[in-house]
Structure 1
Amino acid sequence: MANFVLIPGMCHGGWCFEEVTEGLRAHGHTVHPLTLTGLSERSHLGPGAVNLETHVRDVTGVLEAENIRDAVLVGHSYGGMVITGAADRAPGHVASLVYVDAMVPGHGDSCWNLVTDQERRWYMDVVDSGDAVRPLPFFDARATPHPLASLLQPLQMAGDLAHIRRKVYVYAAGWDGPSPFTSVYERLREEPGWTAHALAGGHNLMRDAPQDLLKTLLDAVEPD
């Protein structure tokens, strides 16, 4: 059975994976849906001192404390930044990476430099303290402001993730308007070492297409 660690996107907590978590557990897998520091039920821990490195350590800390080996790290949207950093920091703990309509960064990349001008305008809509980005109006009512520093800090990597056995990209094909992830999907579906899927749903595939996403995650841990 596989060990899944689920990382949400901006402003969300581990609760956003509820249906997917239940499905994976029903198939016998171990699942850790994480809420990152400074968000949701952990919003009291930030956001002023929280950055991308904090969130990477959230994941590596769980991998080490729970002694998780051969983990499948699943990152939605901003979570792609986090799982990439965690896989680089804890190579002995991670076997597979699944990017769910997510950023796929390299060394030195930040969210700010990977997104479009539309997303940057959103990032500048900060709370009165200036250190967190407001949730968008259509987000779940449980969403909370997201630490701004985590979007600006470049990712520091020591390697190239060559040790990762399986890399999967899951593209949301049902955006209401152009998707900022289309070019990522088109590149990775042609790149050796990657498996790419397109699902009929909006950016929040955990809400829009949970059963299709669940099937894709289950397929990702099938033997080659």
Structure 2
Amino acid sequence: MPPESGTAHLRHDIVLVHGGWHGGWAWERLVPHLASAGHRVHKPTLAGLGDRAAELDERLGWQTHVDEIARHLQERCQGAVTLVGHSYGGSVITGVADRLPARVARLIYLDAVIPIDGVPGMESFPPERQAAMRAGALALGGLRVPPPDPSIWGFEPGTPEHRQLQERLTPHPLKVMTDAPRISGRWLSVPHKHYLMAAGPPVSRFVDLYAQRVRDPAWTTGLVEGSHEMMWTHPRQLAAALLALISPPD
């Protein structure tokens, strides 16, 4: 949808990076609300996931995803962009901003991981969940972690939304979770950093990360209606929260 003449000055590249087990499809209910405000919205699917599941191999890891989103910025975006990362996508956008801080105007973490240098993403899960994911990966041949049941995000089994997610989620590359990300700290120079946590229910597993950002004057924070999958269940409310950060009133 082309922007109206009165909103043309708002045109800005927004790159949405999905979480684990998802694909670019996860943003399809949100994108129209952002695009109608005049922004160029990108929703790439990460290698080995979604409609790119067939690309999975033993070499595909965290760096693969950082590399391809960095390349997307350089080849398809203009000027400094807004990077939005959902869940695992927060790790990816951090890696991209760490490499290309001058190309990133704003980082928005959406109920998302903030990676720690040298610490595999798998370690952010409770030990019993780690064991279950490793066992699930072994049952699938050792390279892929099967998706969780959507009920962990508050979807009632048997409902249409639960069934839709079950049908569309794909296994997540195990190496992505076990790789130790290398983060120099350059990403902290990005001028605008925001953390939006799902208000729930259920309670977000990122509540401690959120609390840390609340106490950090370099960040702004907020709650968004809905559970972890708010871009799917509450796209209009999420769009309003994102647009308030990306296009604040003059």
Bin for the TM-score computed over the shorter chain: over 0.9
Which residues of 2 match residues 37-186 of structure 1 at below 5 A? 37-124=47-134, 125-126=136-137, 127-138=139-150, 139-176=165-202, 178-186=203-211
Find the partner of 1:205 among 214, 230, 247: 230
Q: Number of residues paired by the alignment?
A: 223
TM-score between the two structures when normalised by the length of structure 1: 0.93
CA distance in 1, matches of 2:27, 2:57: 22
| Matched AA of 1:142 | R
* Percent identity for Structure 1 against Structure 2: 34
**Which residues of structure 2 form unaligned runs of 5+?**
1-10, 151-164
**Which residues of structure 1 form unaligned runs of 5+?**
none
8 Å Cα contact 1:47/1:146 also seen in 2: no
CA RMSD of the aligned region, Å?
1.7
CA distance in 2, matches of 1:140, 1:194: 35
8 Å Cα contact 1:36/1:42 also seen in 2: yes
Q: How many angstroms does 1:111 deviate by?
A: 1.1
**1:167-219 Cα distance to aligned partner (Å, 9 max, x none):** 1111012133x432111111111211111111231111111221111011101
CA distance in 2, matches of 1:4, 1:113: 29
CA distance in 2, matches of 1:107, 1:27: 36
TM-score between the two structures when normalised by the length of structure 2: 0.84
SS at match of 1:141: helix
- Seen in structure 2, the aligned counterparts of structure 1 residues 122 and 220 have a Cα distance that, compared at 3 Å, is farther
SS at match of 1:161: helix
CA distance in 1, matches of 2:128, 2:245: 32
Q: How many angstroms does 1:143 deviate by?
A: 1.4
**Largest Rg, 1 or 2:** 2
| Matched AA of 2:206 | F
| Matched AA of 2:123 | N
